[in-house]
Structure 1
Amino acid sequence: MKAPRITDTSLRDGSHPMRHQFSSTQVQAVALALDEAGVPVIEVTHGDGLAGSSLQYGFSATSEMELIAAARVVCRQARIAVLLIPGIGTLKELEQAQECGAQIVRIATQCTEADISQEHFEFAKKLGMEAVGFLMMAHMRSPELLVQQARIMEAAGADCVYVVDSAGAMLPKDAHERVKALKEALGIEVGFHAHNNLGVAIGNSLAALEAGADQLDGCLRGLGAGAGNAPTELLAAVLDKMSLNPGLNIYKLMDAAEYVIAPMMPYQPLPSRDAITIGYAGVYSTFLLHAQRAGERYGIDPRIILTELGRRQAVAGQEDWILDVALELARGSLPT
């Protein structure tokens, strides 16, 4: 095994629990602490990526372009990354982000929709940016199908493709199998992005590393959607004990987590009942509130609704299924 490159996504995935209310001052404090601790890549955008600030996804308190520029100006060695989800962000926002100091773009699609990302990869390369592919909800498809999708991104110009455990639904075996399949099939780097809904974010990250992952993600104090991500400071400590530290200052990361990010956090993400349900069912965390409302309306445990949605492999954009499932359960058409 070799030491992986670490990307800290506190200022992007962490935007979800922060309700997208990061200020420029907060972003600079976090970015500076990460930079001084040796983190090589820092991701900064709305939780749903470029142009995510909207009624549908939640408005940002501060323009993401302002946040990107604020992070860039304090970083001496770290590079700034942004997330782009085709259909939310456009090439226009990507160019603006690059002008504000972004050097890496992580282009995210559902794990079955890599074909919609081609123009985004091509444009990123024209801008001189490093381009990373994100195959979201990767637990929903077999390693073989993920390889097919990853090859589409590789052909479009991706420098790396990530297996993304968006719902925190994977176990170490799942992470290992998917990363191993991509490593054997691709001629580019492979990454892994973990969520902690089932409490195994670090374990899954290590399984991915054992399978050959070149890049891993984390968030300070686990600040991220659902039950959070693999805590960057914990990931660094574990890697150091494995003699695979990629140049991170563990003590500075601990201090950043304790004294910089923790005072900003509205709550500590953890595998609560709701978060566990999301991971167990394998659905997006955005389904939770809708399922709770439907459950209250029809007298159905929302966990049963979410589990059925997971069985049906519902993805973002299929929220209308929630009422259908609740009605079927209320009528006795489905077992409870």
Structure 2
Amino acid sequence: MSGQHILISDPSLRDGNHAVRHQLTPDQVRAYCLRAEEARIPVVEVGHGNGIGASSLQLGEAAATDGALLEAARGALKNTQLGVHIIPGFATIEKDLKPALDSGVDVFRVASHCTEADITERFITFARNAGKTAYGVLMMSHMASPEVLLEEAQKMEAYGAETLVIMDSAGNYLPEDVRQRIEVLVEGLGIPVGFHAHNNLGCAIANSVAAVEAGATMLDGCARGFGAGAGNAQLEVLVPVLHRLGYETGIDLYKVLDLASFAEREIMDVVPIISSTSVVSGLSGVFSGFLKPATRIAEDFDVDVRDVFFELGRRGIVAGQEDIILEVAADLSKRRQLA
């Protein structure tokens, strides 16, 4: 373990966009990236919360185009790489990936639901053929067994993915859950494995540590946890914890602490907290990005948002199915009226 390098990727300007209804501006992105560069953050991820190409009425309209955000970031980054999150279906190769190439994107993180890796093949192949780094990302990974995750991850590896990342998109994991999955993936893959934590149950840092102890060599962390729902692993906590454990990140401690303070002051409406609703979201295994719309819709129908989350979890709803929140709230309201 001593001196082992852990690659840190910072999705504050992508996952954090969920927390501000996708309203980050080019000026905010530029200012953050300048400070991330000073802190020696290896990778900064930029874009709509659901990835490039996802700005829409259903998922939330962004304040700025993908191109404007990426160009603002690219102009501020020299040594730090620029990354994007891609979900096939929301993004297309012609409309979104080719312009992202022109904007100078270095790292393409191609994501699917944890059992649908097949949809990523064309996108991973495109990024690799363009000479760019391509990651395979399995979202909502708690919804699949370690063995199924490995099968899906092996597909991504065969498509050309250079790193495989599993996301705890609902903040549902405890450390042992992470350890079991990472161990299986590290043993069964020939490429590095990474982990993306959410903090609904207060385990984001512990889960990240469990991931590296099980063999992961890449972690995501966001300034002040800036992300959907209860937020992500806090970047400025994750880095010193890793350093104390003997891992290396190459990140400047004082500068990353300054970066987090800047983010709280200049780009966040509120610092993510573990609210009562966030806990239920994590327990029910529902995508963290549903927190704001589910809360709003539950209030509109005068139903308990906790009931909404548990029903969404029972139905196995995932990102992109935001319309089901309305259906669930309406059903709960109707049941209450008939009771």
User: What interval of TM-score do these two structures reach, taking the shorter chain for normalisation?
Assistant: over 0.9
Matched, 1:248 2:251: yes
Report how far residue 95 of structure 1 moved: 1.4
| Equivalent pair of 2:201/2:279 in contact (CA under 8 Å) | yes
TM-score (norm 2): 0.92
The match for 1:277 is: 280
The match for 1:83 is: 85
| Equivalent pair of 1:221/1:262 in contact (CA under 8 Å) | no
Report how far residue 243 of structure 1 moved: 1.8
Report how far residue 74 of structure 1 moved: 1.8
| Residues 176/15 of structure 1: CA separation in 2 closer, same or farther (3 Å cut) | same
| Residues 287/100 of structure 1: CA separation in 2 closer, same or farther (3 Å cut) | closer
Matched, 1:106 2:101: no
Q: In structure 1, give the amino acid aligned to 2:129.
A: K
Report how far residue 247 of structure 1 moved: 0.8
C-alpha separation between the residues in 2 aligned to 1:132 and 1:146?
Answer: 15
| Equivalent pair of 1:223/1:269 in contact (CA under 8 Å) | yes
The match for 2:145 is: 142
| Structure 1, 109-118 or 280-289: larger mean CA deviation | 280-289
Report how far residue 309 of structure 1 moved: 2.6
Q: In structure 1, give the amino acid aligned to 2:331.
A: L
The match for 2:50 is: 48
Percent identity reads 46
SS in 2 for 1:112: coil
Aligned with residue 172 of structure 1, among 138, 157, 175? 175
| Equivalent pair of 2:139/2:167 in contact (CA under 8 Å) | yes
| Structure 1, 318-327 or 208-217: larger mean CA deviation | 318-327
The match for 2:205 is: 202
Report how far residue 294 of structure 1 moved: 6.4
Q: In structure 2, give the amino acid aligned to 1:163.
A: I
C-alpha separation between the residues in 2 aligned to 1:285 and 1:168?
Answer: 7
C-alpha separation between the residues in 2 aligned to 1:91 and 1:279?
Answer: 33
Matched, 1:27 2:43: no
| Structure 1, 9-18 or 57-66: larger mean CA deviation | 57-66
> Which string of whole-angstrom CA distances, capped at 9 and with x for unpartnered residues, describes residues 6-39 of structure 1?
0011111111112222222211111111111111
C-alpha separation between the residues in 2 aligned to 1:325 and 1:296?
Answer: 9
The match for 2:307 is: 304
C-alpha separation between the residues in 2 aligned to 1:155 and 1:297?
Answer: 46
Matched, 1:61 2:73: no
| Residues 74/325 of structure 1: CA separation in 2 closer, same or farther (3 Å cut) | closer
Aligned with residue 95 of structure 1, among 93, 98, 113? 98
Query: Root-mean-square deviation (CA), in Å?
Result: 2.1
Q: In structure 1, give the amino acid aligned to 2:125.
A: E
Aligned with residue 327 of structure 1, among 315, 325, 331? 331
TM-score (norm 1): 0.93
Q: In structure 1, give the amino acid aligned to 2:258.
A: D
| Equivalent pair of 2:28/2:266 in contact (CA under 8 Å) | no
The match for 1:157 is: 160
The match for 1:230 is: 233
| Equivalent pair of 2:224/2:263 in contact (CA under 8 Å) | no
Report how far residue 289 of structure 1 moved: 5.4
> Which string of whole-angstrom CA distances, capped at 9 and with x for unpartnered residues, describes residues 224-280 of structure 1?
111111111111110111121311111111011113443321111111112111111
Q: In structure 2, give the amino acid aligned to 1:62.
A: A
SS in 2 for 1:166: coil
C-alpha separation between the residues in 2 aligned to 1:321 and 1:20?
Answer: 21
C-alpha separation between the residues in 2 aligned to 1:308 and 1:40?
Answer: 39
User: Structure 1: where are the runs of 5+ without partners?
Assistant: none
| Equivalent pair of 1:308/1:325 in contact (CA under 8 Å) | no
Report how far residue 304 of structure 1 moved: 2.4
Paired residues in the alignment total: 333
C-alpha separation between the residues in 2 aligned to 1:195 and 1:75?
Answer: 26
